[in-house]
A and B are shown apart, each in its own frame.
Chain A
Amino acid sequence: MLRQAIGGQRGAVILGAFLLALHQATEALIPVLIGVMIDETELSSLLSWLGVLAGVYVVLSFSYRFGGRIAEGSAERAAHDLRLRVVRRVLHAGGGAEDGRLPGALTTIATEDVRRAGAVNLVVAVAAAGLSGLAVGTVVLLNTSLPLGLLVLLGTPALAWLGHLLAKPLERRSSTEQERAAHASGVAADLVAGLRVLKGIGAEQAAVERYRRTSRDSLAATMRAARAQALQNGLVLALTGLFVALVAYIGARLAQEGTISLGQLVSSVGLALFLMGPLHLLAWVNSELAQARASAARVAEVLAAPPAVAPGSTPAPSPVQGSVRLRGVRLGGLDGLDLEVRPGELLGVVAPDPAAASALLHCLGRSADPLGGVVELDGVDLTGVDPAALREAILVAAHDADLFEGTVLENLGAHTPAALAASGADEVIDSLPEGGQSLVGERGNSLSGGQRQRVALARALAADRPVLVLHEPTTAVDAVTEARIAAGLREARPGRTTILVTTSPALLAAADRVVLVDGGRVAADATHAELVHESDTYRTAVLA
């Protein structure tokens, strides 16, 4: 996965790594040049060294500027590509990527995890930079003096390792502290989200108290983390100071023996301090790589998720007559269901067991395949048909289908006055300030529940599929409108097959025929009026 992320941007990664490496190399030269110039006794040569320093600065500045830009840019583009792949996988007609993952968790994968996985491009470039800084510093030091070089060479990694060792328990702790802190902000957002509920029962003060407790817990936790962090910072500072003292001492002894010059002593002290920089970079690379690996694993898991239904190769029947047939279907609440829907029929299905209703909807929309038995459209077994092609023929409009941000008309997809009238969405449009051009907000939030449901129904009707399956389309609609919808459904679907999975008597009364699914099979098959008279189960299910 990470290799793929780099592979897509190989040129940019190599160029970025080269430039950032160049930047670190020039950074390493600055303390060296300072040492050289401190030692200088001739003004003219000092000035030419300043010229050299200027040249180094030009290279340093440009390599950093463009190296950083190129490396970070490649990380961003890699994340963008991964993000689109994740979304494409989630939306894939075969489904299956969402199984066992909440939308929020998947969204985090499509934002945070792809960012971390993509950042591997930057990490590689920074690793090159760190190694280059380390190499230049080492070469200069070893050239100056073998013992001093070795001291710095061995001492700095030891120091970095000590710092890492000190940071380790802290990192573990800080992640739990962060969770606590996030919990406090989560609780606050949750209370605000439930503001109306709180006010309805006058529970504001209790909620304030509850938040205060959470906040205090979180404060105690963050204080512990902050103290540990402060201690670690102090220790690292002290260790670095002791190391500098050691380098200064050894360097001064060497200078006294005449092994190195004064300028070289200054350079060595400067380099000892500078080398902490590349080492920190490498430590950062290490921890980022671990995170990138974990994130990439999560992304890969989504991309590789098995589809919920197998892809098929049989073409969907064309033109679709609209006869639907289920034989011995077993899944969830269905236990050998046999059902035949004639072309053009308006069929009501009453399933008091919600599991049976949802299994039926899954089979018809191919979001799941039956464990046993066959579902056919015009005699073609659905499991052989590509799910996307099938959905051109059959539309299953879920009870809780989402609306999307945009105008009412954009949500409908097609402007069909007949669909608007039949669903009662025409009244919704009339009541909105800008009619069909009104924005519905995220997930249709700015509409009321009843308005949302009518627009969703209009969308299902406007899609005009040969077979339409509607699940409880009127639960949030008032009785008058529901009666109007029931009366208009047939007209909105002339000659087309419509299956109503509902317990609403108003809708069932409008159906040509109603089947009662009980115990996973069809228990009764008649008109609504007949069933009301004949079946106790039906009466209980439909008439409250």
Chain B
Amino acid sequence: MSAPERHLLPVATPARTRSAVRELVRPHRRLAVYGFGVMVVATATGLATQPLLGWVIDLVAAGEGALLPPIALLVVVALAAGALTALGLAKVAQLGETVLAELREHFVARALTLPLEQVERAGSGDLTARVTADVSRVADAVRSALPELARSALTIVLTLGALALVDWRFFVAALIAVPVQVLTARWYVRHAVPLYAAQRTAAGAQQQQLLETIGGAPTVRAFLRHDEHLGRVENRSLAAVELTMRGLRLAMGFYSRLHIAEYAGLAAVLITGFLLVRNGQASIGEATAAALYFHSLFGPVNTALALLDDAQSATAALARLVGVTDLPLPAPAAHVEPSGEAAVEVRGLGHAYVTGRPVLHDVDLVVAGGERVALVGASGAGKTTLAKLIAGLHTPTGGKVAARGVGMVTQEVHVFAGPLAEDLRLAGPDATDDELRRALSLVGALDWAQALPDGLATVVGEGGHRLTPAQRQQLALARLILADPEVAVLDEATAEAGSAGARVLERAIDRASDGRTTLVVAHRLTQAASADRIVVMDGGRVVETGTHAELLTAGGRYAALWRAWSDGRS
């Protein structure tokens, strides 16, 4: 459907992603140098173990008895390596977590100030996926993959160095494994990255299907679509299983190839040791140390190579985060004050969400301070678009909008997860408890709010206490009161509550808009009838304006609507 119109949010280039990481780390570079320095010393200390074991072997081979020095050193090395590793890991984690927190805060701050049309063009799923999946992927990498990878890489480099210190010929022998490992790693990453991306997509599709089928279970039962939905779930689940199995075959093939490298390297080191010992160029202790070094490389090498794709996918996720944080802040829309007495002034306004498909044409509208105007029209007439443009939620593609401070209650009623008071304080951060109660009481919500298990401290929203649609709308109106704008724009705030709750809400709307210039997108015509002025829209244009009585007399579109409405209530 609107697929060709999707403009996903930008993704940073690899170069920009790297420089963004540098910018994030720069303020903490002392911590970074300290943490990594300690890790290097800790790893190097640990690597003294093998030569010390070699020393023990040499002492035994030479038939000497003084075992104490190397054993005592082994004890010292164990304690020092443990202590230094603990310190280094703590510092590295501190660095990672701090940088991560700053990154996610930057991201959320930027995401929440993005122009709405940009978010909508990308599909709301894009931003949500970045704020959840991508942030947690980067967090996982910072917490486990990167430290592991860094530790393994450090161990590998320092071990190879230590091997060279024992005798350079051991180092050369160990290098036999490297070409196989490099080829294997490249082969793996090339296949693993797209495969794991496909796996995540399949897992997401499965999750989506389960949510839809389970959440819609009553509908599935009512319409007897049991088999169809079971089939959909089965297909998505099988697709996910199939991709997991492919990933598994890939990973297992990867380890098989690494085993070849292990064997080749180990054999080369053992032969080298044998030849050097036979020619008297190395002691048996040194040969042992070399073999043990190489054997101890298996773990870190496998870990490092296996983590490459984690690191790669975290980098991709990071690029998606940086892509958003780097977006330029929109030039603050030159705030135009309406001229004279007017609270809202709209001139020659036009708008198109999709180029070439305008939904508003040349709309003029002036709302006087304190006036109450109702927008009326069939679905798709452009009422909501006009309301959103006036509230500044969208930037018009043509014409001009000027308005004093506007607050809008949109069709989407969202309850923010957390204590009810916190939800309200989003609109009035400094509001006292009394002010919160006053706002709730004005919209008729105080009674039920105080009756909640923990009163205003009750956790509501996702995962919390569930509010009814009418209660959510009352909450939206209470927020409007706390935000206290001069101009209130209300869009179909009663529509979803069902007719039974509509009256309660209409009273709440009256209270919330009391003393404000008000623009109501009227769904129920009773809302229009009580307005100071009615603006009738059709096909994106204003077709009639006037009071209820004037429009009825004029006998135009509004009169026809009213007849259709009041026929039912004769």
Contacts and interface: CB of A to CB of B under 8 A. Distances in A.
Contacts of B31: none
Interface in A383-434: 387-388, 391-392, 395-399, 401-402, 404-405, 413, 431-434
Interface in A217-255: 218-219, 222-223, 226-227, 229-231, 233-242, 244-245, 248-249, 252-253, 255
Contacts of A76: 241, 244-245
B19 to A, nearest CB: 23
Nearest to A101: B214
Contact of A506 (B111, B224, B565): B565
Contacts of B407: 200-202
A204 to B, nearest CB: 5
Given A234-B85, A404-B229, A413-B225, 20 more contacts: A34-B292, A46-B274, A54-B267, A65-B252, A72-B248, A83-B237, A91-B226, A97-B217, A111-B210, A193-B128, A195-B124, A197-B413, A200-B489, A230-B89, A241-B78, A249-B71, A405-B209, A443-B215, A506-B569, A543-B569
B12 to A, nearest CB: 19
Given A201-B483, A234-B83, A504-B568, A61 B256 contact: yes
Interface stretch (B130-138, B335-343, B360-368, B545-553): B130-138
The 4 closest A-B pairs by CB, nearest first: A241-B78, A238-B82, A234-B86, A506-B568
A226 B212 contact: no
Nearest to A39: B284
Q: At the interface, is chain B mostly helix, strand, loop or mixed?
A: helix
Contacts of B165: none
Contacts of B526: 544
Interface string A298-313: 0000000000000000
Contacts of A209: 429
A191 B416 contact: yes
Interface in A329-374: 352, 354, 365, 367
A99 B45 CA distance: 59
B215 A191 contact: no
A46 B275 CA distance: 11
Interface string B47-80: 0010001001101110101010001001101110
Given A187-B417, A229-B89, A438-B1, A245 B74 contact: yes
A265 interface: yes
B380 interface: yes
B48 to A, nearest CB: 10
Interface size class of B (residues with CB under 8 A): 35 or more
A59 B514 CA distance: 82
B506 A544 contact: yes
Contacts of B214: 87, 90, 98, 103, 106-107, 110
A261 B90 CA distance: 42
A38 B288 CA distance: 7
Interface string A438-455: 110111001011110000
Nearest to A507: B568
A190 B284 contact: no
Nearest to A528: B568
Given A34-B270, A198-B426, A265-B60, A542 B569 contact: yes
A461 to B, nearest CB: 12
Interface stretch (A133-141, A155-163, A474-482): A474-482
Contacts of B438: none
A262 interface: yes
A65 B256 CA distance: 7
Contact of A192 (B112, B217, B273, B560): B112
Interface string B413-430: 110111000100111010
Given A404-B216, A449-B495, A65 B253 contact: yes
A504 B499 contact: yes
A203 interface: yes
Interface stretch (A142-150, A178-186, A287-295): A178-186
B233 interface: yes
A443 B212 contact: yes
A248 B53 contact: yes
A40 B273 CA distance: 11
B564 interface: yes
Nearest to A477: B379
B570 A532 contact: yes
A111 B244 CA distance: 14
Interface stretch (B100-108, B156-164, B166-174, B186-194): B100-108
Interface string A35-62: 0011011010010001001100100111
